[in-house]
Structure 1
Amino acid sequence: MKPTPRRHRSDSAKAAVQAHQNAAQGPLEPPGYVTLPEPCKPFWRAIVTSRPRDTWTDSDLVLAANLARTQHAIESAPVGSDEHAKLTRLAMALARAVAVHPTATVAAVSEVTARVRLRYRPGVTSAMRVNHSGTLYGITHVADVRSAGRELHLMCKRVQ
């Protein structure tokens, strides 16, 4: 069994060089033996950009393609249906297997200074701010918990 190479600090010169090399290589594509329909490509791009390029293996890319197909299928399933619930559970399992988590990939822990939980309301975006007792927080990420349309988690960074 081949040992996993040691990860370097993200603020080191070596990590900066690796990030530039990854960016110069262009976007990741699915392996040649995986068919990914065109409507699934936006989901694919969102998934593969959530981790550094050099951390993806072929098996991870296959799982990422399956996750992209599943997320596309969720879009067409009626919300609240059994099919939507099954697809959502499948997407969560695939995301765990690929080690893609929305809140973990959006901001470093040091950037998130508050997490706000609130009842779901449509239209909440990262362009908005939260005012709590006179303190302003910029929203760095909006997560619809379990994609159920019931609860939102906002990852915030103190502005003022």
Structure 2
Amino acid sequence: MMTRFIVLGCLLAAGMAGCTPRPYFETTTTYVPPASEAGRLCVAQCRQAQSICESAKELAIQTCRAESLTRAHADYQAYLKSLPKDFNRKKMKSIGDFDRGSSCSSNLYCSYDYKECFKSCGGRIEQQTYCVKDCKLMKPPQPDGAAVGPKTAL
């Protein structure tokens, strides 16, 4: 009996530990454009390439979803034909059970490519992490909004 109370007490303590406030951090990314006119024109081309990449990525996902829906319709029709005449309609599958469109994705990495292009044009990318909530819980305590750690270049 005593063992149950100890185990229950431990579980309760572990559950409560997850409920205590913790500092909350956010990281901001700053793009510092190149100083030269040629560098700025280069970055404009990077933006254009990123826009084309994002459009191609969205088109690939939409195409995948449309193909998935077409397959789902065909699979659903085959399923309906395979059902016995006395099948319980309440247990019948819907077309959504055959659609796998939610798993569609693209292997295009437009953000990464843009960052690399931006840097190759002479731009700098810097990141800074800030404590934005419950910062007084840090050691040493910090005010909310305080920068945490050094500014890093990517």
Q: Which has the higher contact order (CA 8 A, sep 6+)?
A: 2
The normalised TM-score by structure 1 is 0.31
Structure label with greater radius of gyration? 2
State TM-score, norm by structure 2.
0.32
Bigger helix share = 2
